[in-house]
Amino acid sequence: MISLFLPLAHGLLIGRQDLPIPAWLFAWGASLVLIVSFVALSVAWRDSKFSSDGWRPVSQRLSRLITGRGVEIVTGAIGVFLLGAVVYAGLEGTDEPSLNFAVTFVFVTFWLGMVILSILLGDVFRAFNPWRAIARTVGAVFRLIAGQPHSPPLRYPERLGRWPAVAGIVAFVWIELVYATSGLGAVGLQPATVAAAALAYTAYTLIAMTLFGVETWLQRGEAFSVYYGMFSQLAPLEVRDGRLGVRRPLAAATHWARVPGSIALVVATIGSTTFDGAQEGLWQEPIGDLFDRLTDLGLGPTAAFRTSESVFFALTLAGVAAIYWAGVRGMRTLRGSPALRSLGRSFAHTLIPIGVAYLAAHYFSLFVFAEQAQFTYLLSDPLGDGSDLFGTASSGIDYGLLSANTIWYVQVAALVTGHVTGLLLAHDRAITVYGDPGRASRSQRWMLLVMVAFTCLGLFLLSQSNG
Amino acid sequence: MQSRRLRLGLAAGGIAAAVLLFIVLRGEDGSDSSSTSTAAPTKITFRDGAPVGGVRKIDVARGDPVRLDVTPDVPAEVHVHGYEIARDVEAGQTAKFDFTATAEGVFEVEVHHLVNGGEESGVQVAELNVAP
């Protein structure tokens, strides 16, 4: 039965995987992580360095140049155009996922590329967000006709926090990793499915924005805004009240997780990548076993496969959450700790760098290879119908561009860097939460275990199967 | 009391990491023997929609020659992903591949059954591992 399950590169059918990281590198990586961790334990700075981000505005002229109305209209139009291009290519283009603009654009260029931009430049997606652009245009037209701004009929229930966005992100990943693999050969994600999903999400988002207000929904429910917003907390740039400013990198993340659902969002980020890595290695046999059992019960192969994968996806998310909460519970054993829930929220942001590290380690090579396709044949021939708009339709992906060694070192470096950054943020937070550096250090032995667990899990997954 | 428990937790973490390491290191040793010799071509027969004997593993190092004969029982396109080499063959004929492994990674070899000139989704018949 196992031979039915083809290794899909993240539901994208690229036909190439990374070699698993070799044992010696795994050993070096894991040792480095442990050494770094013990050093981190012994270092104790006395004052919190990240409790305020030291934001200060850049010159008025530069700020206006980058965040001005004209720029906003152009970026918004680009966003709407790209959304339209995805829907059009998905519906009118070829069925072959790897040759259709829609699939690679949504799941690689947008989904991974926007994370990189968010970390480096801040909340770039806000400017390009097609749903924000559409809603604001419609709002402006409404104001013109009605003579007054539209006031949303419902108040957003604050206790829902970021949970609607978490649901959106999990659904997006589920489509990519579970729905796309039918189990009956290398099907990959159908471009028409991507187009349908984009249309459905557009309708859902615009309705929610009408009900709760554009800005409220962007901050709480619009999955991509909230997801990229999380990564943008690490960035050295932020637009505050319309003014562009520079701030200390990483520092803004400190207060990010106060809103309910934030822990779930970081867990979903790490859990999704973990599942993608595990489904081709660690989980492959259990998924196959459950598949066999479900088909014995009379389920069709596609339904059985999706159910089996969904179960293990849910288990992975639960497992990642369990590791984090175990660490928080450990910290709680220290006398004078805050309540569990509050403590959990105090440290959730320390997992953002781990999430970034997981993404970088798992998708670095896919991103480099798929972007070659994006900017050559998928650009010149977006529908896969033989057109050649920019003369690059006949170029291909150069798989020789990255050697296996380069990929391995990038992966291990990403995980170790994420680990160190996470420890840094956690220690800094502990000083504020626990008051004195001594107790902060003691509480941090638990966060250290959490970080070591995540980093070694990341390394372990890469050493098993490097999908 | 408190700090002893913490120290125990820390030790447990260290031990867990060591155990993990040991398992992985040991697992790696056993899997080295499956290398296919590259002198003779690897022969794969594709029958009733699946490769006979399951998906074949072909392990080579970068720069090695890869020789591969695939014989499907249907008209098909045999395709080495990544290297983007494709051969069309009639039912029962053999698609012969002879190329140098220049890109590192794990690549799929697939048989795409040709139906009325168009191709159906591919079925993997081999996994080409090109190590550095």
* Span A12-57, pLDDT tens digits: 556 788 888 888 888 888 888 888 887 776 776 778 888 888 899 9
Give the residue-averaged pLDDT of B29-57: 72
For residues A284-318, b (16+ Cβ closer than 10 Å) or e, as one string? beebbebbeebbeeebeeeebbbbbbebbbeebbe
Contact B81 A460 (CB under 8 A): no
Q: Name A307's Cβ contacts closer than 8 Å, sequence gap at least 6.
A: A290, A294, A299
Question: Which position has the token pair 């794990």?
Answer: B106
Interface confidence (ipTM) of the complex: 0.74
**Token pair listed for A330:** 């450990």
| Residue A83 neighbours by CB distance under 10 Å | 22
pLDDT of residue B22: 64
Contact B20 A30 (CB under 8 A): yes
3-class secondary structure per residue, chain B: CHHHHHHHHHHHHHHHHHHHHHHHHHHHHHHHHHCCCCCCCEEEEEECCEECCCCEEEEEECCCEEEEEEEECCCEEEEECCCCEEEEECCCCCEEEEEECCCCEEEEEEEEEEECCEECCCEEEEEEEEEC
- Rounded Cα–Cα distance for residues A226 and A259 (Å): 11
A323 touches chain B (CB under 8 A): no
- Rounded Cα–Cα distance for residues A296 and A204 (Å): 37
**Which residues of chain A make contact with B107, given a CB cutoff of 8 A?**
15-17, 399
CA dist A75 → A127, A227, A309 (Å): 6, 19, 38
Q: Which CATH architecture has domain B35-131?
A: Sandwich (2.60)
**Which residues of chain A make contact with B84, given a CB cutoff of 8 A?**
396
Q: What backbone phi and psi angles, to 5 degrees, belong to B123?
A: -120, 130
pLDDT tens digit sequence for A110-157: 999 999 999 999 999 999 999 999 999 999 999 999 988 888 999 999
- Rounded Cα–Cα distance for residues A165 and A218 (Å): 9
Nearest to A186 among B50, B104, B122 (CB): B122
A438 touches chain B (CB under 8 A): no
| E strand map for A208-338 | 237-240, 243-246
Per-residue DSSP letter, A18: B
Residues of B contacting chain A (CB within 8 angstroms): 2-3, 5-6, 9-10, 13-14, 17, 20-21, 24-25, 28, 50-51, 54-55, 62, 81-84, 102-108, 110, 121-124, 127, 129-132
pLDDT tens digit sequence for A320-357: 999 999 999 999 998 888 999 999 999 999 999 999 99
Domain coordinates in residue numbering, chain B: 2-32, 35-131
Confidence grade of residue A185 (pLDDT, cut at 50, 70, 90): very low
pLDDT of residue A28: 84
